[in-house]
């Protein structure tokens, strides 16, 4: 997404998998928002595939329509409401059609969907997907069904996700669920629950299975991957006290990353999302030691001002963040970074804004996701702080941040020119069917002419001769497959 500097929250994306001949029902499944939602949709499809549902890309032929939703911003919720209104009209034509809402929006609004909206029959939170078969029985009997109970244990570790709508080359592997970092602007702890780490052995097995199925790159996924922590084959709840836990070997995120790199040495490995508060230099050391770990980190900062960071409860300072960046560049000289930035948070002054711009210049991000602050109901900021920055000021500051990121992105792209890069072929260029697209280790997108004999999943050496603001332009030597 290097060529898009405001992430407007991913629009709905529908998926379909190969049909199971014995299945007689049709599922239309559409996902919105973050990568975690798309990963969760693969779990849902796997569960329902065992319940007689094949997926379809046509809502008009579905027996069951599910939207996996996002609550991170108001616009995301508005998009879902509009989509549900469309399905309400479809439901008038087909009274037996079941429509449900999954994910964060379901968790936030709970029974309001059933009581006020009258748009859905089914409401399921992100920790209740195993209960879908039982809930669907209730809807079959003519009753509305809901389960939004959050869990301290659910990781879906034993469910083998089906791979929906992907390219067969890259895949997500969820390693944590939930978040314990109570940032004042964020709904995730309330919609996703407490942090849970998945058994590392199940993660390793899933990664090996993906490699054996032809996948060439994985992204270890979580709301905050750096907080991953697994104690000696068990979870925290399995031990009586801290002393007992300390006697056992703990698997940190750095250790897990190393385990995966060793288990699938030819597989490219990425991870997302990181939190500065939990990131350690051990992660950078592991990245430096293993060539198959990509040299890129998405490291949200949200603001360059300590005053704002404290109000946001980010648990790191500007100085600590910049020190972390400096250490990473020292240990992994060719590393790249992307950012998340909230503009116009409660009480943000012009000086705070200028501190954000100066931090961006110092880090030199490859790209970023930037948003004007909008209140989310139920968050500490909504309850205790005034959203006092005028809309026109937010938009002006946001425009300045976007413009600066554009300059930095072009500069970073120019730094890749004149060198050869290993590019994993992920698909055909959207603008030219005679060109491939892929990414280098630093996550920069590159397009280059196709050659005879090449296919998706090939790793090729590409010489980069030019660039745009967000894309590298390359050329291959003959027989360049690595």
List, for residues 392-451, the tens digit of each pLDDT value: 999 999 999 999 999 999 999 999 999 999 999 999 999 999 999 999 999 999 999 999
Position 124 pLDDT exceeds 90: yes
Total domains present in the chain: 3
For 252-290, write each residue's pLDDT tens digit.
999 999 999 999 999 999 999 999 999 999 999 999 999
User: Of 76, 271, 51, 303, whose CA–CA distance to 185 is shortest?
Assistant: 303
Q: Are residues 69 and 211 in the same domain?
A: no
Last residue within a domain, chosen from 361, 388, 415: 415
Domain extent, residue 113, equals: 13-147
Average confidence (pLDDT) over 246-255? 79
pLDDT band at 2 (very low <50, low <70, confident <90, very high): very low
Instruction: Determine how β-strand 367-372 pairs with β-strand 196-197.
Output: unpaired
Average confidence (pLDDT) over 321-331? 98
| Per-residue confidence (pLDDT) for residue 240, from 0 to 100 | 55
| Per-residue confidence (pLDDT) for residue 179, from 0 to 100 | 93
Position 9 pLDDT exceeds 90: no
Q: What is d(CA 97, CA 65) in angstroms, rounded to the nearest whole number? A: 8
Q: Are residues 193 and 99 in the same domain?
A: no
Last residue within a domain, chosen from 415, 437, 453: 415
Q: What is d(CA 180, CA 224) in angstroms, rounded to the nearest whole number? A: 9
How high does pLDDT run on average in the chain?
90
Q: Count Cβ atoms below 10 Å from residue 302 Cβ, excluding itself.
A: 24
Q: What is d(CA 472, CA 77) in angstroms, rounded to the nearest whole number? A: 34
Which residues are bridge partners to 196 per DSSP? 177
Q: Are residues 115 and 174 in the same domain?
A: no
For 28-86, write each residue's pLDDT tens digit.
999 988 888 889 999 999 999 999 999 998 999 999 999 998 887 777 788 888 898 88
Q: Are residues 299 and 197 in the same domain?
A: yes
Average confidence (pLDDT) over 367-381? 93
Radius of gyration of the chain (CA): 23
| Per-residue confidence (pLDDT) for residue 16, from 0 to 100 | 54
Peptide bond into 294 cis (omega under 30): no
Q: Which residue has the higher pLDDT, 140 or 15?
A: 140
Average confidence (pLDDT) over 225-236? 76
Q: Are residues 189 and 322 in the same domain?
A: yes
Q: Are residues 175 and 200 in the same domain?
A: yes
Q: What is d(CA 279, CA 474) in angstroms, rounded to the nearest whole number? A: 34
Position 238 pLDDT exceeds 70: no
pLDDT band at 19 (very low <50, low <70, confident <90, very high): low
Position 7 pLDDT exceeds 90: no
Position 380 pLDDT exceeds 60: yes
Position 123 pLDDT exceeds 50: yes
Q: Are residues 355 and 432 in the same domain?
A: no
Report the 3 state secondary structure along the chain. CCCCCCCCCCCCEEECCCCCCCCCEEEEEEECCCHHHHHHHHHHHHHHHCCCEEECCCHHHCCEEEEEECCCCHHHHHHHHHHHHHHHHHHHHCCCCEEEEEHHHHHHHCCHHHHHHCCCCEEECCCCHHHHHHHHHHHHCCCCEEECCCCCCCCCCCCCCCCCCCCCCEEEEECEECCCCCCCCCCHHHHHCCCEECCHHHHHHHHHHHHHCCCCEEEEECCCHHHCEEECCECHHHCCCHHHHHCCCEEEHHHHHHHHHHHCCCCEEEEECCCCCCCCHHHHHHHHHCCCECCEEECCCECCCHHHHHHCCCCCCHHHHHHHHHHHHHHCCCCEEEEEEEECCCCCCHHHHHHHHHHHHHHCCCEEEEEECCCCCCCHHHHHCCCCCCHHHHHHHHHHHHHHHHHHHHHHHHHCCCCEEEEEEEEECCCCCCEEEEECCCCCEEEEECCCCCCCCCEEEEEEEEECCCEEEEEEEEEEEC
Q: Are residues 388 and 440 in the same domain?
A: no
State the virtual CA torsion across 379, 385, 391, 394 in degrees, nearest 10. -90
Residues counted in the chain? 482
Q: Are residues 135 and 174 in the same domain?
A: no
% pLDDT > 70, the chain: 90
User: Of 444, 466, 445, 427, whose CA–CA distance to 436 is shortest?
Assistant: 427
Average confidence (pLDDT) over 3-22? 50
Q: Count Cβ atoms below 10 Å from residue 64 Cβ, excluding itself.
A: 23
Position 191 pLDDT exceeds 50: yes
Structural domain contains residue 379: yes
Which CATH number characterizes residue 470's domain? 2.40.50.140
For 93-110, write each residue's pLDDT tens digit.
888 899 999 999 888 888
pLDDT band at 478 (very low <50, low <70, confident <90, very high): low
Residue 134 φ/ψ, nearest 5 degrees = -70, -40
Which CATH number characterizes residue 232's domain? 3.80.30.20
Q: Count Cβ atoms below 10 Å from residue 307 Cβ, excluding itself.
A: 16
Average confidence (pLDDT) over 318-332? 98
| Per-residue confidence (pLDDT) for residue 18, from 0 to 100 | 55
pLDDT band at 209 (very low <50, low <70, confident <90, very high): very high
Position 385 pLDDT exceeds 90: yes
Q: What is d(CA 57, CA 48) in angstroms, rounded to the nearest whole number? A: 16
Average confidence (pLDDT) over 238-245? 52
pLDDT band at 321 (very low <50, low <70, confident <90, very high): very high
């Amino acid at each position: 997404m290097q060529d898009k500097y405001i992430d407007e929250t991913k629009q709905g994306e529908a998926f379909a998998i190969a049909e199971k001949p014995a299945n007689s029902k049709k599922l239309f499944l559409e996902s919105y928002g973050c990568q975690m939602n798309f990963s969760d949709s693969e779990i849902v499809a796997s569960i329902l595939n065992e319940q007689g549902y094949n997926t379809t890309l046509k809502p008009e032929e579905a027996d069951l329509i599910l939207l996996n939703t996002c609550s991170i911003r108001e616009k995301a919720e508005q998009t879902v409401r509009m989509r549900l209104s469309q399905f309400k009209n479809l439901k008038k034509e087909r009274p037996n059609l079941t429509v449900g809402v999954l994910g964060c929006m379901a968790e936030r609004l709970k029974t309001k969907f059933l009581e006020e909206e009258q748009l859905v029959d089914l409401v399921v939170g992100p920790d209740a997907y195993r209960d879908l078969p039982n809930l669907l029985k209730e809807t079959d009997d003519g009753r509305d069904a809901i389960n939004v109970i959050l869990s301290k244990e659910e990781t879906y570790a034993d469910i083998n996700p089906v791979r929906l709508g992907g390219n067969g080359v890259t895949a997500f592997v969820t390693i944590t669920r939930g978040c314990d970092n109570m940032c004042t602007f964020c709904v995730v702890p309330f919609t996703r629950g407490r942090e849970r780490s998945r058994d590392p052995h199940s993660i390793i097995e899933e990664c090996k299975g993906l490699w054996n199925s032809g996948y060439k790159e994985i992204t270890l996924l979580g709301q905050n991957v750096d907080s991953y922590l697994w104690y000696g084959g068990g979870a925290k709840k399995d031990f009586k006290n801290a002393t007992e836990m300390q006697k056992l070997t703990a698997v940190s995120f750095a250790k897990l990353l190393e385990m995966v790199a060793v288990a699938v040495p030819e597989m490219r490995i990425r991870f997302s999302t990181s939190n500065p508060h939990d990131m350690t230099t051990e992660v950078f050391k592991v990245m430096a030691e293993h060539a198959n770990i990509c040299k890129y980190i998405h490291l949200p900062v949200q603001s360059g001002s300590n005053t704002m960071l404290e109000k946001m409860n980010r648990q790191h300072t500007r100085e600590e963040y910049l020190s972390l960046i400096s250490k990473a560049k020292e240990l992994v000289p060719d590393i790249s970074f992307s950012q998340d930035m909230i503009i116009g948070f409660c009480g943000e002054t012009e000086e705070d804004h200028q501190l954000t711009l100066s931090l961006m210049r110092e880090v030199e991000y490859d790209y970023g996701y930037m948003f004007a602050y909008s209140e989310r109901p139920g968050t500490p900021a909504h309850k205790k702080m005034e959203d006092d920055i005028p809309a026109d000021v937010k938009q002006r500051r946001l425009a300045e941040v976007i413009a600066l990121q554009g300059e930095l992105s072009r500069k970073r792209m120019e730094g890749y020119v004149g060198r050869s890069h290993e590019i994993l072929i992920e698909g055909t260029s959207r603008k030219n069917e005679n060109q491939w697209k892929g990414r280098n280790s630093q996550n920069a997108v590159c397009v280059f002419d196709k050659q005879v004999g090449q296919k998706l999943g090939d790793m090729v050496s590409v010489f980069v001769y030019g660039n745009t603001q967000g894309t590298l332009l390359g050329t291959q030597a003959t027989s360049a497959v690595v």
